[in-house]
């Protein structure tokens, strides 16, 4: 199954959905139409029970260079204007929606991931990066305060020290540094990136029903406020027993 949109493409094969940001001429910078299409694609993933994993990637040489500058400048003309507030909300909803997709999610990152592009990357459950990827917070350099929950997203994946280095002090890191810092799982050559991401996605997507149940509990038990071990043990019991009875 495949479906093409103006600025995003959703393809599904062997239980794995691949959502591609498809505006390489602007390094996949996020516009409001693109955000709407991405959210619609993620809703389609949730509606399709045969899908067991979602990979998010960028077309061309970049993952996502952040929010389109015209979108930011329009919002900045009058930040208290209701439409400007709603437009930023549309942008933020893209990250939130990825975090709520009901299947395991993986970001495959090549080239730059900047600002809002980093938020999108961080909203996924797992990250695979090209060795020469460029991960840049970038907000303060543009004279902007971080948005979209950037501090929280970065801290919950890689901790306070790296959050301060990148989001406050403007440090840029590559793919190999990201793995060493705990910001990504694996760094590979750029030409191997899609294959590596699909390899991992196909593993969990073999059993879509179980994948959806497992990732729901994974997100409840981990992250900013992880459960204690004894609570997690009891929390998992019902779902584990359900999985035993399925056969």
195-199: list long-range contacts, CB under 8 Å, 24+ apart.
196/108, 196/128, 197/55, 197/57, 197/106, 197/108, 197/128, 198/16, 198/18, 198/55
pLDDT per residue over 116-165, tens digit each? Answer: 999 999 999 999 999 999 999 999 998 888 989 999 999 999 999 999 99
Reported as a single tens digit per residue, the pLDDT across 69-118 is 776 555 545 555 656 656 677 888 999 999 999 999 999 999 999 999 99
Average pLDDT over residues 185-207: 98
Q: What pTM did the predictor assign?
A: 0.91
Average pLDDT over the chain, rounded to an integer: 90
| C-alpha span between 135 and 137 (Å, rounded) | 7
CA distance 72 to 247: 52
Angle between helices 116-123 and 82-100 (to 10 degrees): 30
- DSSP one-letter string for 16-44: EEEEEE--GGGTT-B-HHHHHHHHHHHHH
């Amino acid at each position: 199954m495949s479906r093409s949109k103006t600025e995003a493409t959703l393809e599904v094969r062997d239980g794995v959905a691949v959502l591609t940001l498809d505006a390489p001429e602007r390094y996949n910078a996020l516009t409001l139409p693109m955000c709407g299409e991405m959210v619609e694609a993620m809703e389609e993933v949730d509606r399709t029970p045969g899908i067991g994993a979602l990979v998010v990637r960028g077309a061309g040489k970049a993952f996502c260079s952040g929010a389109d500058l015209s979108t930011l400048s329009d919002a900045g003309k009058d930040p208290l204007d209701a439409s400007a507030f709603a437009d930023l909300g549309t942008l933020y909803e893209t990250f939130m929606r990825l975090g709520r997709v009901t299947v395991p999610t993986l970001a495959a990152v090549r080239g730059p991931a900047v600002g809002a592009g980093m938020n999108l990357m961080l909203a996924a459950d797992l990250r695979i990066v090209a060795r020469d990827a460029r991960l840049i917070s970038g907000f303060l350099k543009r004279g902007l305060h971080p948005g979209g929950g950037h501090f929280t997203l970065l801290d919950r994946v890689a901790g306070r020290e790296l959050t301060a280095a990148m989001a406050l002090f403007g440090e840029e890191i590559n793919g190999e540094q990201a793995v060493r810092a705990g910001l990504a799982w694996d760094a590979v050559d750029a030409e191997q990136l899609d294959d590596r991401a699909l390899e991992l996605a196909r593993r969990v997507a073999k059993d879509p029903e179980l994948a959806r149940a497992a990732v729901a509990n994974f997100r409840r038990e981990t992250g900013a406020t992880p459960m204690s071990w004894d609570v997690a043990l009891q929390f998992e019991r019902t779902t584990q027993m359900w999985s035993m009875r399925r056969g």
